[in-house]
Structure 1
Amino acid sequence: MAKKKSFPLRIDPALYEIIERWAQEEFRSVNAHIEFLLREAARQAGRLKKEKKKEND
């Protein structure tokens, strides 16, 4: 697994609360949920290369 890039993120407190509740409903951390949402947006925009499936999947 590649090392993840960390950086500070400034976000509106009301939006953070929405994401925090949403993450809890999906059983994810806020950080993992933000990454999930960004990855989905990039995929839907056609900017994310398709990930190769592992042989064991």
Structure 2
Amino acid sequence: MAKKKNFPLRIDPELYAVIERWAQEEFRSVNSHIEFLLRDAARREGRLKKKKEKE
């Protein structure tokens, strides 16, 4: 697996609390849930291509 990029993220505490609760409901860490949300948004906007399924 490729190494992931680390960077600081400043976020509104109220929004963080929402994401934290949401992540718990989805059994994810806050970090992985933020990545999931960003990846989903990028796919929906056509900025990230879907991986080809193996045949």
Q: Please, what TM-score do these two structures have when normalized by structure 2?
A: 0.93
Structure 1 distance, partners of 2:2, 2:19, is 25
Q: How big is the shift at 1:54?
A: 4.3
Structure 2 distance, partners of 1:35, 1:42, is 10
Q: Please, what TM-score do these two structures have when normalized by structure 1?
A: 0.90
Aligned pairs, number: 55
RMSD of equivalent CA atoms: 1.0
Structure 1: state its 5+ residue gaps: none
Q: Counterpart amino acid of 1:16? A: Y
Partner of 2:26: 26
Question: Structure 1 segments of 4 or more deviating over 2 A?
Answer: 52-55
Structure 1 distance, partners of 2:8, 2:54, is 32
* Structure-to-structure mapping, 1:1-57, within 5 angstroms: 1-54=1-54
Q: Percent identity?
A: 82
Q: Counterpart amino acid of 2:44? A: Q
Deviations 1:10-54 (A, max 9, x none): 000000000000000000000000000000000000000111234
